[in-house]
Structure 1
Amino acid sequence: MSKVSYYTAEGLKKLRDEIDQLKSIERPKASQAIADARDKGDLSENAEYDAAKEAQGLLEMKIAKMDEILANARLIDESQLDVSKVLVLSKVKIKNQANGMEMTYTLVAESEADLKSGKISVTSPIGKGLLGKSLGEIAEINVPNGVLKFEVLEISRD
């Protein structure tokens, strides 16, 4: 059974673009590499041909996996999300109770997580700990070196 994945419009477009690139650019390159290797002579002793066939197989496997992900992808309707609690696509400003440091994160699906741009996965320890919390609530999050406490300062949608 395949797992349903939730995407923003941006994340879904990115997935489709990557699949299109693999199918329209990488697949013909792999076929050409096989043809070039085949033209070099005896296939029984042609390591280049074997490598090209293996690369093509891996590429086709990746395309099939991504097609399956796309088939099970669901677009998140941001207009239907509640802004009183932390949910997927919530932009959350939190304060670390131990050191007073404030951080802002956007909770996204695992496939769209990018810490550099402030997007954390809802399946990460911090993401899981913040889900369902309301303004002013303290989230206690178990991490490898103990428990972190974060106060929810703001919840918004962007």
Structure 2
Amino acid sequence: MTQTSENVTWLTQEAYNKLREELDYLTGRARTEIAAKIAAAREEGDLRENGGYHAAKEEQGKQELRVRQLTQLLENAQVGEAPATTDGTVAPGMVVTIAFDGDEDDTLAFLLASREYASSEIETYSPQSPLGGGVLGHKVGEDVEYELPNGRKASVRILKAEPYSG
């Protein structure tokens, strides 16, 4: 499970190992493969009109961005379980159930966690997302207003906040 608390990212050992494997691949075999693609495309001639070369360079840039993201994430990682709150306060690593505009029939349950932990089991919202940031630190029973990406305001009532047992 991935949970962010201030500058620390909490990871289970399994999540840490998975991210470490991805970083090792990207800094090893993937770099070698992309360098070979770039070299092969360069051999084809004029780089201004070489689509293969430009595609390989773009792929290389995306890989290096992901390397930087993973490196930073793993540098700030704390392996183990995050301290669980039991007082009903919404925190990373919790499954939060909300009602939109206080309507108990229009609800959503989601995991408040880093996108690295997103899965098909449950919808995941990061603490940096508008909804995630809006409910973070609030308690069960509170009505919370947050700003949508389009600048409008939305409100939700927090119905439940339980540690994720995934």
TM over 0.5: yes
Shift of 1:29: 1.6
Give the whole-Å Cα distance in 2 for the aligned partners of 1:148 and 1:34. Answer: 48
Q: 1:78 aligns with which of 74, 78, 81?
A: 81
Q: Considering only CA atoms, is the larger Rg found in Structure 1 or Structure 2?
A: 1
- The equivalences for 1:1-158 within 5 A come to 4=7, 6-9=9-12, 10-33=14-37, 36=40, 45=45, 47=47, 51=53, 54=57, 58=61, 61-62=64-65, 65-66=68-69, 68-75=71-78, 77-84=80-87, 85-97=89-101, 99-100=103-104, 101-109=106-114, 111-112=116-117, 117-143=122-148, 144=150, 146-157=152-163, 158=165
TM-score, normalised by the number of residues in structure 2: 0.67
Question: What is the percentage of aligned positions where both structures have the same residue?
Answer: 20
TM-score using structure 1 length:
0.69
Q: Is the 8 A contact 1:27 1:59 kept in 2?
A: no
In structure 2, list runs of 5 or more residues that go unmatched. Answer: 1-5
Q: Which runs of 4+ in 1 moved over 4 A?
A: 34-38, 52-57, 110-116
1:74-128 deviation line (CA, Å, top 9, x unaligned): 2264352213210111111111135440110111125545698411010111111
Structure 1 residues 136 and 71, CA, compared in 2 at 3 Å: closer, same or farther? closer
* Paired amino acid for 2:25: Q
Q: How many residues align?
A: 151
- Mind listing any 5+ residue stretches in structure 1 that lack a counterpart? none
Please state how far the C-alpha of 1:151 moved relative to its aligned partner. Answer: 1.4
User: Does the 8 Å contact 1:95/1:153 carry over to 2?
Assistant: yes
Contact 2:10 2:78 in 1 (8 A): yes
